Amino acid sequence: MKIAVCIKRVPDMDMRFAIAADGASLDPSGMKFDIADFDGYAVEVALQLNEKQGPGESVVISLGPDGVQETLRKALGMGADRAVQLKADVVPFDGMAIAQALAAELKDGGYDLILFGRMATDSANQSVGPMTATLLGLPCVTAVSKLEIANGAGTAERQLEGASETVTFPLPAVVTIDEGVARPRLPSLKGIMAAKKKPLEVKPAQLGAARLTVARMELPADRPPGRIVGEGPDAVPELVRLLHDEAKVL
Amino acid sequence: MANTFAFAESRGGSLRKVAFEMVAAARQAADATGGGEVHALLIGGPGVAAKAAELGQAGADVVHVVEHAGLERYNPEVFAATAAERIKAGGYRAAFFAASAEGKDLAPRVAALLGVSLASDLTGFSIDGNALTGRHPTHTGKIITTVTLTGTPAIATIRPGAVRADGAAKAGTVHAHAPALDPAAAKVQVTAVGAKGDAKLDLGDAPVIVSGGRGLREAANFTLVEELAAAFGNAAVGATRAVTDDGWRDPSTQIGQTGRIVSPELYVAVGISGAIQHIAGMRTSKVIVAINRDKDAPIFKVADYGIVGDLFEIVPKLTEAVRKARG
Ligand SMILES: Cc1cc2nc3c(=O)[nH]c(=O)nc-3n(C[C@H](O)[C@H](O)[C@H](O)COP(=O)(O)OP(=O)(O)OC[C@H]3O[C@@H](n4cnc5c(N)ncnc54)[C@H](O)[C@@H]3O)c2cc1C
Ligand SMILES: Nc1ncnc2c1ncn2[C@@H]1O[C@H](COP(=O)(O)O)[C@@H](O)[C@H]1O
């Protein structure tokens, strides 16, 4: 199968973030970046499908400044066949603006399957996948935790609140990947060497107009400092008293 | 003065709590523009129209109802095409969908069909002449991003629990419509919905959530957590990913970045370390209690009240005390 995977380069979420002087972005000093968690799962899904089903091509696509080339090389190191950078100096926050650029690139690509992460861990918009699918007029299943592809059709499972849904769809299709489908492999040394020679094409991103913009970024207010009520079972009566008298939740 | 739109999510023929919350959000937006009408859209199988009155009670002036035998379950293509058609026809200033599993799937499709942008997962918002401004937790909850959305209609998903459903009753006049697409012709079909566990309180509706982590050591020990939840009477049981990954609990009960995001009145974390991905799903709870034997566990940084010690000794005592306190 010919599979495209859209991957975003995002800051490492384990870092301690600081807000930049403009008040509307993160201070980039010392920031480390990596492929967004769910996008890594999506790359793994593409690789496994092509490994299982015989000859195919896995193409990774990332929109952003030249820094995304590092992310694309990582995916190539995992085993993707080629990469496309849709070059933009700044990645807009507006999912629709990004979706328009991705749809323009994917439209005539002849892909059987287009994979996204369920959401990018930075923007957490959870919208670029289904928006791109809608612009392309392709069937789309989001937040998939199980996926099977056979005979030109797919079966997927998604989690709802307190239930799960089984969904069928024909190819070509767009699927956004939740966790649970596949744990991403680490690029092997051999993979990293091979990745250096794999094609990485750079094209201008045809971004749509950004109508959703960031006005401000803040660190969340700390929860008021809590307290350790005590140690061991002897602290239970005091905890229950506090829940009743002070917090009034009992 | 402008009219606004609320998508009224239902499942199995019943309205979900978020349906009323979206009516309240639409009311808030209509009032901010000088007091227009709130129109709700209710899509479902035969008989779902009977639920329209509840939406009127919650503050919908008009309820657009689309009843079809092929729409007992969510059908993304038909729901999206139908919602886009109604929003276009209504000329609304803003349209609200819940940031639920269904709403997060549906709203981006509707926005793309209408060629407008979407503000996601807002925990609060305001609207004026030109812009909708909303607060959106990003970066696994470590950053609060304030976004500005221009263009009409402004489409937004609102986090469950963020808006209180307490509006004054309105007429709830029913307008019936046909779906914009034939459900049988949709390419994506939901073929089964497996209910998970028993029909106890949903995590999104429960005022109290008791969650367990790997500290419980094995699946069977979750009875401790269940008994504590039962003692509260109005509690649902959650879990960490460590636990759902190991198959101790169903994945649908996972709280956190990759699971449910909840804001109950009381969240009790039992044997949970407090990884950022878990905290992203529960940090907006009103009161947090943690029980952990490691006094340095990060969960104590977000907990209002903590007990340091062995959960196997503490939880049974707490269950007993809660049972007594509740009479
Ligand atoms: C992309 C990604 C997404 C993720 N999404 C989620 C998510 O949505 N939700 C989520 O929960 N996790 C998520 N995780 C996993 C997360 O990083 C943690 O691994 C997980 O939350 C840990 O679960 P835990 O607290 O149950 O286990 P542990 O971290 O192992 O903690 C167990 C705790 O129990 C305590 N304990 C042990 N024995 C006792 C005892 N007898 N009495 C009292 N305390 C005891 C220990 O001190 C410890 O603090 C995600 C990870 C990644 C990479
Ligand atoms: N700049 C980007 N380049 C490539 N793919 C992206 C980009 N932004 C978002 N995506 C894809 O869209 C998914 C959802 O992103 P979001 O809607 O921002 O949460 C991500 O998991 C990626 O698969």
DSSP string, A13-24: TTSPP-B-TTSS
Q: Of the residues B277, B289, B317, which should be mutated to test ligand 1's pocket, given the most ligand atoms within 8 Å of the CB?
A: B277
Q: Does B130 touch chain A (CB under 8 A)?
A: no
CA atoms of B301 and B308, how far apart (whole Å): 13
Q: Of B114, B87, B117, whose CA–CA distance to B6 is shortest?
A: B87
Nearest CA in chain A to B282: A223
Q: Of B209, B308, B295, whose CA–CA distance to B249 is shortest?
A: B209
Cα-to-centroid distance, B221 and ligand 1 (Å):
16
Q: Does residue B21 sit in helix, strand or coil? A: helix
Model pLDDT, residue B193: 85
DSSP assignment, residue B253?
A: G
| Residue B199's pLDDT band (cuts 50, 70, 90) | very low
E-only strand ranges, B59-188: 62-67, 94-98, 118-122, 124-127, 131-138, 143-150, 154-158, 173-177
Torsion-angle region of B8 (φ positive above 0: left; ψ -120 to 50: alpha; else: beta): beta
What residues of chain A, 45 to 84, have a C-beta less than 8 Å from chain B? none
E-only strand ranges, B241-311: 266-270, 287-292, 305-308
Residue B211: C-alpha distances to residues B183, B255, B286 (Å): 39, 8, 15
Q: What are residue A146's phi and psi, to 5 degrees?
A: -150, 140
Residue B90: C-alpha distances to residues A83, B1, B37 (Å): 43, 14, 11
Average pLDDT of the segment spanning B31-42: 95
Q: Is residue B209's pLDDT more than 70?
A: yes
Q: How many CA atoms lie within 13 A of B210 on its CB side?
A: 22
A60-86 pLDDT per residue, tens? 999 999 999 999 999 999 999 999 999
Ligand 1 neighbours (beta carbon < 6 A): A 37; B 213-215, 240-243, 254-259, 271-273, 275, 277-278, 281, 292-294, 297, 310-312
Q: What is the pTM (predicted TM-score) of this model?
A: 0.87
Angle at B80 between CA A170 and CA B83, to 5 degrees: 160
Cβ-Cβ contacts under 8 Å for B18 (sequence gap 6 or more) = B9, B98, B100, B103, B160, B204
Which chain A residues contact residue B11 at CB under 8 A?
Answer: 160, 163
CA atoms of B206 and B267, how far apart (whole Å): 10
Q: Is residue B201's pLDDT more than 80?
A: no
Average pLDDT of the segment spanning B72-82: 96
Average of per-residue pLDDT values in chain A: 95
Copy the structure tokens of residue B234. Answer: 């109005």
User: How many whole angstroms from its chain centre is CA A141?
Assistant: 15
| Residue B198's pLDDT band (cuts 50, 70, 90) | very low
Cα-to-centroid distance, A119 and ligand 2 (Å):
7
Cβ–Cβ < 8 Å for B113, B81: yes
**CB-ligand 2 contact for A125 (6 Å cutoff):** yes
Copy the structure tokens of residue B264. Answer: 């109950």
Model pLDDT, residue A160: 81
CB pairs under 8 A between A and B: 264
Cα-to-centroid distance, A102 and ligand 2 (Å):
9
pLDDT tens across the length of chain A (250 residues) = 999 999 999 999 888 899 999 999 999 999 999 999 999 999 999 999 999 998 899 999 999 999 999 999 999 999 999 999 999 999 999 999 999 999 999 999 999 999 999 999 999 999 999 999 999 999 999 999 999 999 999 999 998 877 789 999 999 999 999 977 788 999 999 999 999 999 999 999 999 999 999 999 999 887 888 899 999 999 999 999 999 999 989 8
Nearest CA in chain B to A165: B193
Q: Does B111 touch chain A (CB under 8 A)?
A: yes
Q: How far is the alpha carbon of A178 from chain B, nearest alpha carbon, in Å?
A: 8
| Residue B196's pLDDT band (cuts 50, 70, 90) | low
Model pLDDT, residue A187: 92
| Residue B200's pLDDT band (cuts 50, 70, 90) | low
